[in-house]
Amino acid sequence: MIMKRVAKPLHTCTLSELQEGALGEIVAIDNEGIFEQIGAHVGMSVIVLKRAVASLVQIGAGQLEVPKEICDHILVKPLAHAGE
């Protein structure tokens, strides 16, 4: 028997999958506590500035380090990559 995986909406990825330098828009957050932790909410723009153990991310107008465990709960729609 072939099992089908439930797909993410087309053209979306988690924040941890968004490429360094890419611009995206938050389309879903699957953990309500993330707003309290980092102030992110649906509709905000995001840019991955630097990938590391905790990625340096610009969310809205603020820059902060966000651990991968939190990035995995934020679904984004990639909009453009730096230089495009």
Domains assigned to the chain: 13-81 (2.30.30.90)
Q: How many CA atoms lie within 13 A of 45 on its CB side?
A: 11
Tokens of 60: 């809205």
- pLDDT score of 36: 87
CB 47 within 8 A of CB 41: no
Global pTM? Answer: 0.80
Mapping DSSP to helix (H, G, I), strand (E, B) and coil, where does residue 38 land? helix
Tokens of 67: 């651990």
For 32-53, write each residue's pLDDT tens digit. 888 889 999 999 999 999 988 8
Tokens of 5: 């995986």
**pLDDT above 70 as % of the chain:** 83
